[in-house]
Chain A
Amino acid sequence: MTLILKNVTYTFPKKEIPVIAKLNLTVQQGEFVSLIGKSGTGKSTILKLITGLLQADEGEISINKKPVTLGDVGFMPQKDLLFPWRTILDNIMIGAEIKKEIKISKENARSWLKKVGLSDYEQAYPNQLSGGMRQRVAFLRTLLTEKEVLLLDEPFGALDSITKKEMQAWLLSIWQELDKTIVFITHDLEEACYLSDRIILLKEDRKIEETIVPLPRPRYQEMLHSQILVELRKELEKKI
Protein backbone atom coordinates (compact mmCIF):
# COMPACT_ATOMS: atom_id res chain seq x y z
CA MET A 1 0.00 0.00 0.00
CA THR A 2 2.12 2.85 -1.22
CA LEU A 3 0.68 6.26 -0.59
CA ILE A 4 1.65 8.81 -3.19
CA LEU A 5 0.99 12.55 -3.22
CA LYS A 6 1.91 14.04 -6.55
CA ASN A 7 2.11 17.79 -7.13
CA VAL A 8 -0.65 18.43 -4.65
CA THR A 9 -1.78 22.02 -4.26
CA TYR A 10 -4.52 23.24 -1.98
CA THR A 11 -5.80 26.71 -1.18
CA PHE A 12 -8.40 27.35 1.47
CA PRO A 13 -11.59 28.92 0.17
CA LYS A 14 -11.36 32.73 0.05
CA LYS A 15 -7.58 32.64 0.54
CA GLU A 16 -5.00 33.77 -2.00
CA ILE A 17 -1.91 31.82 -1.02
CA PRO A 18 -2.05 28.04 -1.16
CA VAL A 19 -1.41 26.29 2.14
CA ILE A 20 0.01 23.29 0.28
CA ALA A 21 1.92 23.97 -2.93
CA LYS A 22 3.19 21.32 -5.33
CA LEU A 23 3.71 18.79 -2.60
CA ASN A 24 5.31 15.50 -3.54
CA LEU A 25 5.46 12.75 -0.99
CA THR A 26 5.67 8.99 -1.14
CA VAL A 27 5.03 6.80 1.86
CA GLN A 28 5.98 3.14 1.52
CA GLN A 29 3.98 0.20 2.76
CA GLY A 30 4.58 -0.26 6.48
CA GLU A 31 6.44 2.98 6.85
CA PHE A 32 6.05 5.34 9.81
CA VAL A 33 6.30 8.93 8.65
CA SER A 34 5.91 12.00 10.84
CA LEU A 35 4.92 15.45 9.68
CA ILE A 36 6.35 18.31 11.71
CA GLY A 37 6.31 22.04 11.22
CA LYS A 38 5.01 25.26 12.69
CA SER A 39 1.32 25.93 13.03
CA GLY A 40 -0.22 26.94 9.74
CA THR A 41 2.16 24.95 7.57
CA GLY A 42 -0.68 22.65 6.56
CA LYS A 43 0.00 19.44 8.48
CA SER A 44 -3.63 18.73 9.28
CA THR A 45 -4.65 19.89 5.83
CA ILE A 46 -2.44 17.22 4.26
CA LEU A 47 -4.19 14.54 6.33
CA LYS A 48 -7.60 15.88 5.37
CA LEU A 49 -6.58 15.81 1.72
CA ILE A 50 -5.48 12.19 2.05
CA THR A 51 -8.74 11.19 3.72
CA GLY A 52 -10.71 12.87 0.95
CA LEU A 53 -12.40 15.31 3.33
CA LEU A 54 -10.76 18.06 1.29
CA GLN A 55 -10.25 17.98 -2.46
CA ALA A 56 -6.89 19.06 -3.83
CA ASP A 57 -7.02 21.93 -6.35
CA GLU A 58 -4.27 20.30 -8.36
CA GLY A 59 -2.32 17.07 -8.27
CA GLU A 60 -3.18 13.52 -7.34
CA ILE A 61 -3.30 11.49 -4.20
CA SER A 62 -3.34 7.74 -4.63
CA ILE A 63 -2.94 4.54 -2.70
CA ASN A 64 -1.63 1.66 -4.80
CA LYS A 65 -2.27 3.75 -7.90
CA LYS A 66 -5.92 4.22 -7.10
CA PRO A 67 -7.09 7.78 -6.34
CA VAL A 68 -8.21 8.08 -2.71
CA THR A 69 -11.81 8.67 -1.74
CA LEU A 70 -13.62 8.94 1.58
CA GLY A 71 -13.41 5.70 3.51
CA ASP A 72 -10.08 4.59 2.06
CA VAL A 73 -7.85 5.42 5.02
CA GLY A 74 -8.14 5.35 8.78
CA PHE A 75 -8.20 8.84 10.27
CA MET A 76 -7.68 9.72 13.91
CA PRO A 77 -8.33 13.43 14.55
CA GLN A 78 -6.70 15.55 17.27
CA LYS A 79 -9.65 15.32 19.63
CA ASP A 80 -10.66 11.79 20.55
CA LEU A 81 -14.25 12.45 19.38
CA LEU A 82 -15.67 9.41 21.11
CA PHE A 83 -19.45 9.29 20.97
CA PRO A 84 -20.50 9.94 24.58
CA TRP A 85 -23.76 7.98 24.23
CA ARG A 86 -22.03 4.82 23.02
CA THR A 87 -20.27 2.32 25.21
CA ILE A 88 -16.58 1.79 24.58
CA LEU A 89 -17.31 -1.43 22.69
CA ASP A 90 -19.89 0.30 20.50
CA ASN A 91 -17.53 3.19 19.92
CA ILE A 92 -14.85 1.00 18.42
CA MET A 93 -17.41 -0.92 16.36
CA ILE A 94 -18.68 2.19 14.57
CA GLY A 95 -16.51 1.66 11.52
CA ALA A 96 -17.99 -1.79 10.98
CA GLU A 97 -21.49 -0.37 11.37
CA ILE A 98 -20.88 2.15 8.64
CA LYS A 99 -19.15 -0.06 6.13
CA LYS A 100 -20.73 -3.45 5.78
CA GLU A 101 -17.61 -4.90 4.18
CA ILE A 102 -15.69 -4.41 7.42
CA LYS A 103 -16.12 -7.67 9.26
CA ILE A 104 -15.28 -7.03 12.87
CA SER A 105 -17.07 -9.30 15.28
CA LYS A 106 -17.82 -8.32 18.86
CA GLU A 107 -15.39 -11.03 19.99
CA ASN A 108 -12.74 -9.52 17.79
CA ALA A 109 -13.35 -6.05 19.19
CA ARG A 110 -13.31 -7.42 22.74
CA SER A 111 -9.99 -9.12 22.18
CA TRP A 112 -8.59 -5.78 21.03
CA LEU A 113 -9.87 -4.05 24.14
CA LYS A 114 -8.15 -6.73 26.16
CA LYS A 115 -4.93 -6.15 24.29
CA VAL A 116 -4.93 -2.47 25.17
CA GLY A 117 -5.87 -3.16 28.79
CA LEU A 118 -9.44 -1.90 28.60
CA SER A 119 -11.41 -5.14 28.84
CA ASP A 120 -13.02 -4.01 32.08
CA TYR A 121 -14.38 -0.96 30.35
CA GLU A 122 -16.18 -2.41 27.36
CA GLN A 123 -19.59 -1.43 28.76
CA ALA A 124 -18.37 1.88 30.20
CA TYR A 125 -19.12 5.23 28.62
CA PRO A 126 -16.36 7.59 27.44
CA ASN A 127 -16.94 10.07 30.27
CA GLN A 128 -15.80 7.38 32.72
CA LEU A 129 -12.37 7.08 31.11
CA SER A 130 -9.13 9.01 31.58
CA GLY A 131 -7.47 10.91 28.76
CA GLY A 132 -4.98 8.15 27.95
CA MET A 133 -7.71 5.52 27.91
CA ARG A 134 -9.90 7.61 25.63
CA GLN A 135 -6.98 8.06 23.27
CA ARG A 136 -6.46 4.30 23.15
CA VAL A 137 -10.13 3.81 22.37
CA ALA A 138 -9.97 6.43 19.63
CA PHE A 139 -6.95 4.66 18.18
CA LEU A 140 -8.69 1.29 18.28
CA ARG A 141 -11.67 2.79 16.50
CA THR A 142 -9.33 3.95 13.75
CA LEU A 143 -7.52 0.63 13.67
CA LEU A 144 -10.75 -1.37 13.43
CA THR A 145 -11.72 0.41 10.24
CA GLU A 146 -9.23 -2.14 8.86
CA LYS A 147 -7.43 0.32 6.62
CA GLU A 148 -3.82 -0.17 5.63
CA VAL A 149 -3.01 3.50 5.91
CA LEU A 150 -3.57 5.23 9.24
CA LEU A 151 -3.44 8.99 9.62
CA LEU A 152 -2.88 10.16 13.17
CA ASP A 153 -3.24 13.85 13.90
CA GLU A 154 -1.35 14.65 17.11
CA PRO A 155 -2.92 11.75 18.95
CA PHE A 156 -0.93 12.27 22.14
CA GLY A 157 -0.82 16.05 22.10
CA ALA A 158 -3.13 16.50 25.07
CA LEU A 159 -1.61 13.84 27.32
CA ASP A 160 0.76 14.31 30.23
CA SER A 161 4.35 13.23 29.60
CA ILE A 162 4.18 9.93 31.49
CA THR A 163 0.98 8.79 29.78
CA LYS A 164 2.43 9.99 26.51
CA LYS A 165 5.51 7.76 26.91
CA GLU A 166 3.29 4.78 27.64
CA MET A 167 1.16 5.50 24.63
CA GLN A 168 4.20 5.84 22.36
CA ALA A 169 5.54 2.47 23.44
CA TRP A 170 2.09 1.02 22.99
CA LEU A 171 1.67 2.49 19.52
CA LEU A 172 5.07 1.17 18.43
CA SER A 173 4.24 -2.31 19.61
CA ILE A 174 0.96 -2.37 17.73
CA TRP A 175 2.47 -0.89 14.60
CA GLN A 176 5.23 -3.50 14.63
CA GLU A 177 2.73 -6.28 15.00
CA LEU A 178 0.46 -5.15 12.16
CA ASP A 179 1.93 -4.08 8.89
CA LYS A 180 0.30 -0.62 8.86
CA THR A 181 1.43 2.50 7.12
CA ILE A 182 1.28 5.47 9.45
CA VAL A 183 1.35 9.19 8.78
CA PHE A 184 1.72 10.95 12.10
CA ILE A 185 1.48 14.62 13.00
CA THR A 186 3.26 15.91 16.08
CA HIS A 187 4.65 19.07 17.60
CA ASP A 188 6.94 17.04 19.79
CA LEU A 189 10.27 16.58 18.00
CA GLU A 190 11.47 13.94 20.43
CA GLU A 191 8.31 11.97 19.72
CA ALA A 192 8.81 12.33 15.98
CA CYS A 193 12.40 11.04 16.20
CA TYR A 194 11.55 8.21 18.53
CA LEU A 195 8.63 6.85 16.51
CA SER A 196 9.33 7.50 12.84
CA ASP A 197 11.29 6.04 10.00
CA ARG A 198 11.22 9.36 8.27
CA ILE A 199 10.40 12.91 9.31
CA ILE A 200 8.95 15.42 6.90
CA LEU A 201 9.50 19.02 7.93
CA LEU A 202 6.97 21.40 6.44
CA LYS A 203 8.43 24.85 6.07
CA GLU A 204 6.78 28.21 5.86
CA ASP A 205 7.90 28.68 2.25
CA ARG A 206 5.76 25.62 1.35
CA LYS A 207 8.84 23.46 0.76
CA ILE A 208 9.49 20.24 2.58
CA GLU A 209 12.61 18.71 3.98
CA GLU A 210 13.03 15.02 4.65
CA THR A 211 15.06 13.49 7.43
CA ILE A 212 15.62 9.78 7.82
CA VAL A 213 15.84 8.60 11.40
CA PRO A 214 18.88 6.34 11.65
CA LEU A 215 17.74 4.48 14.76
CA PRO A 216 17.31 0.73 14.44
CA ARG A 217 14.05 -1.14 15.05
CA PRO A 218 12.58 -2.20 17.38
CA ARG A 219 12.90 0.93 19.44
CA TYR A 220 13.10 1.19 23.19
CA GLN A 221 12.52 4.04 25.56
CA GLU A 222 16.24 4.12 26.41
CA MET A 223 16.84 5.33 22.88
CA LEU A 224 15.21 8.61 23.84
CA HIS A 225 18.51 9.50 25.48
CA SER A 226 20.74 8.09 22.77
CA GLN A 227 23.31 10.32 21.10
CA ILE A 228 21.70 9.89 17.68
CA LEU A 229 18.27 10.97 18.82
CA VAL A 230 19.50 13.92 20.83
CA GLU A 231 21.60 15.18 17.91
CA LEU A 232 18.79 14.69 15.45
CA ARG A 233 16.42 16.55 17.65
CA LYS A 234 18.79 19.49 17.98
CA GLU A 235 19.22 19.59 14.24
CA LEU A 236 15.48 19.61 13.63
CA GLU A 237 14.96 22.27 16.25
CA LYS A 238 17.27 24.56 14.33
CA LYS A 239 15.52 23.95 11.04
CA ILE A 240 11.96 24.27 12.18
Chain B
Amino acid sequence: MKNFLKQYSFFVVFVILIMVLVEYLVRSKIVPAFIIPAPTSVASHIVEQWRPLILEHLKATMVEFSIGFIIAVTAGVALAVSMFFSKTIEKMLYPAVVISQMIPIIALSPIFVLWFGYSIWSKVAVTVLMSFFPIVVATYDGLKSCDKDYIELLRSMGANKRQIFSKLNIPMALPSFFSGLKIAIVYSLVGATIGEWLGASEGLGYYSRRMSGDLNASGVFASIVILTVVGIILFAIASLLEKRTLRWKNRL
Protein backbone atom coordinates (compact mmCIF):
# COMPACT_ATOMS: atom_id res chain seq x y z
CA MET B 1 0.00 0.00 0.00
CA LYS B 2 2.84 2.36 0.85
CA ASN B 3 4.45 1.57 -2.48
CA PHE B 4 1.13 2.06 -4.18
CA LEU B 5 0.83 5.55 -2.75
CA LYS B 6 4.39 6.36 -3.65
CA GLN B 7 3.88 5.14 -7.16
CA TYR B 8 0.52 6.73 -7.93
CA SER B 9 0.14 9.73 -5.62
CA PHE B 10 1.18 12.22 -8.31
CA PHE B 11 -1.17 10.64 -10.78
CA VAL B 12 -4.08 10.84 -8.34
CA VAL B 13 -3.31 14.49 -7.66
CA PHE B 14 -3.21 15.13 -11.41
CA VAL B 15 -6.61 13.48 -11.95
CA ILE B 16 -8.19 15.41 -9.10
CA LEU B 17 -6.82 18.70 -10.48
CA ILE B 18 -8.25 17.97 -13.92
CA MET B 19 -11.62 17.08 -12.43
CA VAL B 20 -11.71 20.24 -10.35
CA LEU B 21 -10.79 22.27 -13.42
CA VAL B 22 -13.53 20.67 -15.53
CA GLU B 23 -16.06 21.13 -12.77
CA TYR B 24 -15.15 24.81 -12.58
CA LEU B 25 -15.28 25.30 -16.36
CA VAL B 26 -18.74 23.77 -16.57
CA ARG B 27 -20.21 25.46 -13.53
CA SER B 28 -19.00 28.88 -14.60
CA LYS B 29 -20.58 28.16 -18.03
CA ILE B 30 -17.27 28.57 -19.88
CA VAL B 31 -17.84 25.15 -21.44
CA PRO B 32 -21.42 23.96 -22.09
CA ALA B 33 -22.42 20.81 -20.22
CA PHE B 34 -23.26 18.85 -23.40
CA ILE B 35 -19.63 19.16 -24.57
CA ILE B 36 -18.00 18.08 -21.33
CA PRO B 37 -20.14 17.14 -18.36
CA ALA B 38 -19.22 18.14 -14.86
CA PRO B 39 -17.62 15.23 -12.97
CA THR B 40 -20.31 15.56 -10.32
CA SER B 41 -23.10 15.15 -12.86
CA VAL B 42 -21.36 12.06 -14.31
CA ALA B 43 -21.17 10.68 -10.81
CA SER B 44 -24.82 11.39 -10.10
CA HIS B 45 -25.77 9.83 -13.46
CA ILE B 46 -23.97 6.64 -12.43
CA VAL B 47 -25.65 6.65 -9.03
CA GLU B 48 -29.12 7.23 -10.47
CA GLN B 49 -28.80 4.79 -13.33
CA TRP B 50 -26.69 2.17 -11.67
CA ARG B 51 -29.27 -0.56 -12.08
CA PRO B 52 -29.53 -0.56 -15.88
CA LEU B 53 -25.86 0.46 -16.23
CA ILE B 54 -24.42 -2.36 -14.17
CA LEU B 55 -27.04 -5.11 -14.23
CA GLU B 56 -27.99 -4.79 -17.86
CA HIS B 57 -25.35 -3.04 -19.94
CA LEU B 58 -22.15 -3.88 -18.10
CA LYS B 59 -23.32 -7.46 -17.82
CA ALA B 60 -23.93 -7.67 -21.58
CA THR B 61 -20.53 -6.17 -22.34
CA MET B 62 -18.81 -8.52 -19.90
CA VAL B 63 -20.47 -11.57 -21.47
CA GLU B 64 -19.25 -10.54 -24.94
CA PHE B 65 -15.84 -9.71 -23.54
CA SER B 66 -15.50 -13.02 -21.72
CA ILE B 67 -16.53 -15.20 -24.66
CA GLY B 68 -14.31 -13.24 -27.05
CA PHE B 69 -11.33 -13.19 -24.73
CA ILE B 70 -11.50 -16.91 -23.98
CA ILE B 71 -11.78 -17.74 -27.68
CA ALA B 72 -8.87 -15.40 -28.51
CA VAL B 73 -6.59 -16.86 -25.82
CA THR B 74 -7.43 -20.48 -26.63
CA ALA B 75 -7.17 -20.08 -30.39
CA GLY B 76 -4.20 -17.74 -30.13
CA VAL B 77 -2.16 -20.11 -27.97
CA ALA B 78 -3.14 -23.06 -30.17
CA LEU B 79 -2.04 -21.22 -33.30
CA ALA B 80 1.22 -20.05 -31.69
CA VAL B 81 2.04 -23.60 -30.61
CA SER B 82 1.27 -25.06 -34.04
CA MET B 83 3.39 -22.39 -35.72
CA PHE B 84 6.17 -23.21 -33.29
CA PHE B 85 6.08 -26.89 -34.24
CA SER B 86 5.41 -26.57 -37.95
CA LYS B 87 7.38 -24.32 -40.28
CA THR B 88 4.70 -24.82 -42.94
CA ILE B 89 1.93 -23.56 -40.70
CA GLU B 90 4.13 -20.68 -39.62
CA LYS B 91 4.90 -19.62 -43.20
CA MET B 92 1.28 -20.01 -44.20
CA LEU B 93 -0.42 -18.25 -41.30
CA TYR B 94 2.00 -15.80 -39.68
CA PRO B 95 1.63 -13.22 -42.49
CA ALA B 96 -2.14 -13.65 -42.32
CA VAL B 97 -2.10 -12.93 -38.59
CA VAL B 98 -0.05 -9.78 -39.14
CA ILE B 99 -2.25 -8.62 -42.04
CA SER B 100 -5.35 -9.18 -39.92
CA GLN B 101 -4.06 -6.36 -37.72
CA MET B 102 -3.64 -4.00 -40.64
CA ILE B 103 -7.35 -4.19 -41.46
CA PRO B 104 -9.16 -1.31 -39.81
CA ILE B 105 -11.55 -3.23 -37.62
CA ILE B 106 -14.21 -0.56 -37.74
CA ALA B 107 -14.30 -0.96 -41.49
CA LEU B 108 -14.60 -4.70 -41.19
CA SER B 109 -17.31 -4.69 -38.60
CA PRO B 110 -20.28 -4.15 -40.93
CA ILE B 111 -19.29 -7.47 -42.47
CA PHE B 112 -19.58 -9.09 -39.07
CA VAL B 113 -23.05 -7.61 -38.69
CA LEU B 114 -23.85 -9.06 -42.11
CA TRP B 115 -22.56 -12.46 -41.10
CA PHE B 116 -23.70 -12.69 -37.51
CA GLY B 117 -26.56 -10.20 -37.51
CA TYR B 118 -27.22 -8.26 -34.34
CA SER B 119 -26.63 -11.34 -32.22
CA ILE B 120 -23.91 -11.50 -29.59
CA TRP B 121 -21.56 -13.14 -32.09
CA SER B 122 -20.92 -10.03 -34.13
CA LYS B 123 -19.51 -8.38 -30.99
CA VAL B 124 -17.60 -11.50 -30.04
CA ALA B 125 -16.07 -11.52 -33.52
CA VAL B 126 -14.75 -7.97 -33.14
CA THR B 127 -13.44 -8.82 -29.68
CA VAL B 128 -11.61 -11.88 -30.96
CA LEU B 129 -10.12 -10.01 -33.89
CA MET B 130 -8.82 -7.30 -31.56
CA SER B 131 -7.18 -9.54 -28.98
CA PHE B 132 -6.11 -12.52 -31.04
CA PHE B 133 -3.03 -10.82 -32.47
CA PRO B 134 -1.22 -9.85 -29.25
CA ILE B 135 -1.77 -13.36 -27.89
CA VAL B 136 -0.44 -15.13 -30.98
CA VAL B 137 2.57 -12.90 -31.45
CA ALA B 138 3.55 -12.79 -27.79
CA THR B 139 3.17 -16.54 -27.28
CA TYR B 140 4.94 -17.42 -30.50
CA ASP B 141 7.83 -15.04 -29.85
CA GLY B 142 8.08 -16.36 -26.31
CA LEU B 143 8.28 -19.96 -27.50
CA LYS B 144 10.90 -19.07 -30.08
CA SER B 145 12.99 -16.98 -27.72
CA CYS B 146 14.44 -20.06 -26.06
CA ASP B 147 18.23 -20.01 -25.93
CA LYS B 148 19.76 -22.82 -27.98
CA ASP B 149 22.23 -23.58 -25.18
CA TYR B 150 19.39 -24.49 -22.83
CA ILE B 151 17.96 -26.87 -25.42
CA GLU B 152 21.37 -28.50 -25.89
CA LEU B 153 21.72 -28.92 -22.14
CA LEU B 154 18.44 -30.81 -21.92
CA ARG B 155 19.21 -32.83 -25.05
CA SER B 156 22.55 -33.82 -23.56
CA MET B 157 20.59 -35.27 -20.65
CA GLY B 158 18.61 -37.34 -23.12
CA ALA B 159 15.42 -35.26 -23.06
CA ASN B 160 12.89 -35.83 -25.82
CA LYS B 161 11.01 -33.11 -27.71
CA ARG B 162 7.97 -33.27 -25.48
CA GLN B 163 10.10 -32.85 -22.35
CA ILE B 164 12.00 -29.94 -23.87
CA PHE B 165 8.69 -28.29 -24.72
CA SER B 166 7.14 -28.73 -21.30
CA LYS B 167 10.21 -28.14 -19.14
CA LEU B 168 11.84 -25.41 -21.17
CA ASN B 169 9.83 -23.79 -23.96
CA ILE B 170 6.65 -23.25 -21.96
CA PRO B 171 8.25 -21.66 -18.88
CA MET B 172 10.51 -19.60 -21.16
CA ALA B 173 7.48 -18.32 -23.08
CA LEU B 174 5.45 -17.37 -20.00
CA PRO B 175 6.81 -13.82 -19.44
CA SER B 176 6.15 -12.93 -23.06
CA PHE B 177 2.77 -14.66 -22.99
CA PHE B 178 1.70 -12.57 -20.01
CA SER B 179 2.74 -9.36 -21.76
CA GLY B 180 0.45 -10.36 -24.61
CA LEU B 181 -2.30 -11.35 -22.22
CA LYS B 182 -2.26 -7.95 -20.52
CA ILE B 183 -2.61 -6.18 -23.84
CA ALA B 184 -5.27 -8.60 -25.04
CA ILE B 185 -7.42 -8.29 -21.96
CA VAL B 186 -7.69 -4.53 -22.48
CA TYR B 187 -8.15 -4.86 -26.24
CA SER B 188 -10.94 -7.35 -25.68
CA LEU B 189 -12.94 -4.86 -23.69
CA VAL B 190 -12.38 -2.22 -26.39
CA GLY B 191 -13.42 -4.78 -29.00
CA ALA B 192 -16.66 -5.60 -27.23
CA THR B 193 -17.49 -1.89 -26.96
CA ILE B 194 -16.76 -1.20 -30.63
CA GLY B 195 -18.88 -4.20 -31.56
CA GLU B 196 -21.77 -2.70 -29.66
CA TRP B 197 -21.50 0.65 -31.40
CA LEU B 198 -22.12 -1.05 -34.67
CA GLY B 199 -25.35 -2.64 -33.73
CA ALA B 200 -26.62 -3.83 -30.41
CA SER B 201 -29.54 -3.51 -28.07
CA GLU B 202 -27.58 -3.62 -24.85
CA GLY B 203 -24.08 -3.13 -23.51
CA LEU B 204 -22.07 -0.10 -22.43
CA GLY B 205 -20.99 0.67 -26.00
CA TYR B 206 -24.61 0.69 -27.07
CA TYR B 207 -25.54 2.79 -24.04
CA SER B 208 -22.90 5.44 -24.70
CA ARG B 209 -24.03 5.72 -28.30
CA ARG B 210 -27.64 6.08 -27.32
CA MET B 211 -26.75 8.77 -24.79
CA SER B 212 -24.67 10.54 -27.40
CA GLY B 213 -27.72 10.57 -29.68
CA ASP B 214 -29.64 12.23 -26.87
CA LEU B 215 -26.85 14.79 -26.38
CA ASN B 216 -26.54 13.41 -22.85
CA ALA B 217 -22.82 13.86 -22.24
CA SER B 218 -23.11 12.71 -18.63
CA GLY B 219 -24.52 9.40 -19.85
CA VAL B 220 -21.71 8.95 -22.37
CA PHE B 221 -19.11 9.70 -19.76
CA ALA B 222 -20.81 7.47 -17.22
CA SER B 223 -20.34 4.45 -19.47
CA ILE B 224 -16.78 5.52 -20.30
CA VAL B 225 -15.96 5.77 -16.59
CA ILE B 226 -17.39 2.32 -15.92
CA LEU B 227 -15.53 0.81 -18.88
CA THR B 228 -12.29 2.42 -17.74
CA VAL B 229 -12.67 1.14 -14.18
CA VAL B 230 -13.47 -2.35 -15.45
CA GLY B 231 -10.48 -2.19 -17.81
CA ILE B 232 -8.18 -1.24 -14.95
CA ILE B 233 -9.54 -4.07 -12.80
CA LEU B 234 -9.08 -6.60 -15.61
CA PHE B 235 -5.53 -5.40 -16.22
CA ALA B 236 -4.82 -5.63 -12.50
CA ILE B 237 -6.12 -9.21 -12.42
CA ALA B 238 -3.88 -10.15 -15.35
CA SER B 239 -0.90 -8.47 -13.67
CA LEU B 240 -1.59 -10.27 -10.43
CA LEU B 241 -1.81 -13.59 -12.23
CA GLU B 242 1.50 -12.78 -13.92
CA LYS B 243 3.17 -11.92 -10.62
CA ARG B 244 1.95 -15.11 -8.99
CA THR B 245 3.04 -17.29 -11.88
CA LEU B 246 6.41 -15.61 -12.40
CA ARG B 247 7.18 -15.46 -8.72
CA TRP B 248 10.86 -16.16 -9.35
CA LYS B 249 11.20 -12.82 -11.14
CA ASN B 250 10.34 -10.79 -8.07
CA ARG B 251 12.81 -12.42 -5.75
CA LEU B 252 16.09 -10.64 -5.63
Report A's interface with B, CB cutoff 8 A. 48, 51-53, 69-73, 75, 77, 79, 81, 83-86, 94-95, 97-99, 124-125, 127-128, 145
CB distance from A136 to the nearest CB of B (A): 16
Q: Known: A75-B153, A77-B149. Contact between A127 and B248, CB under 8 A? A: yes
| 23 interchain pairs, CB-CB under 8 A | A48-B152, A53-B156, A70-B157, A71-B156, A72-B158, A73-B156, A77-B149, A77-B153, A79-B149, A83-B168, A84-B248, A85-B171, A85-B246, A98-B154, A98-B157, A98-B163, A98-B167, A99-B157, A99-B158, A125-B251, A127-B252, A128-B252, A145-B157
CB atoms of B152 and A53 under 8 A apart: yes
CB distance from B235 to the nearest CB of A (A): 23
Task: Tell me the dominant secondary structure on chain B's binding face.
Answer: helix
CB atoms of B158 and A98 under 8 A apart: yes
CB distance from A18 to the nearest CB of B (A): 21
Contact of A127 (CB < 8 Å), options: B154, B171, B251: B251
CB atoms of B156 and A52 under 8 A apart: yes
- Compute how far the CA of A97 lies from the CA of B167 in the bound complex, rounded to whole angstroms: 10
CB of B150 within 8 Å of the partner chain: yes
CB atoms of B149 and A125 under 8 A apart: no
- Compute how far the CA of A48 lies from the CA of B148 in the bound complex, rounded to whole angstroms: 13
CB of B159 within 8 Å of the partner chain: yes
CB of B155 within 8 Å of the partner chain: yes
Which residues of chain B from 152 to 202 have a CB within 8 Å of any chain A CB? 152-159, 163, 167-168, 171, 174
Task: Tell me the dominant secondary structure on chain A's binding face.
Answer: loop
9 further interface pairs, Cβ-Cβ under 8 Å (given A83-B150, A98-B154): A52-B156, A69-B158, A70-B158, A71-B158, A81-B150, A85-B171, A98-B157, A98-B163, A98-B167
- Compute how far the CA of A145 lies from the CA of B157 in the bound complex, rounded to whole angstroms: 7
* Nearest neighbor of B164 in chain A, beta-carbon distance: A98
Q: Known: A83-B171, A97-B167. Contact between A70 and B155, CB under 8 A? A: yes
Chain B residues with Cβ under 8 A from A97's Cβ?
A: 167
CB distance from A50 to the nearest CB of B (A): 10
Chain A residues with Cβ under 8 A from B150's Cβ?
A: 81, 83
Per-residue CB contact flags for chain B residues 138-157 toward chain A (1 = under 8 Å, else 0) read 00000000010110111111
CB atoms of B248 and A77 under 8 A apart: no
CB atoms of A124 and B157 under 8 A apart: no
Chain A residues with Cβ under 8 A from B156's Cβ?
A: 51-53, 70-71, 73, 75
- Compute how far the CA of A128 lies from the CA of B150 in the bound complex, rounded to whole angstroms: 20
Q: Known: A51-B156, A71-B158. Contact between A124 and B171, CB under 8 A? A: no
* Nearest neighbor of A138 in chain B, beta-carbon distance: B153
CB atoms of A124 and B159 under 8 A apart: no
CB distance from B145 to the nearest CB of A (A): 13
- Compute how far the CA of A68 lies from the CA of B54 in the bound complex, rounded to whole angstroms: 67
- Compute how far the CA of A95 lies from the CA of B174 in the bound complex, rounded to whole angstroms: 22
CB distance from A102 to the nearest CB of B (A): 9
Q: Known: A77-B152, A83-B171, A85-B246. Contact between A98 and B159, CB under 8 A? A: yes
- Compute how far the CA of A69 lies from the CA of B156 in the bound complex, rounded to whole angstroms: 9
Chain B residues with Cβ under 8 A from A70's Cβ?
A: 155-158
* Nearest neighbor of B154 in chain A, beta-carbon distance: A98
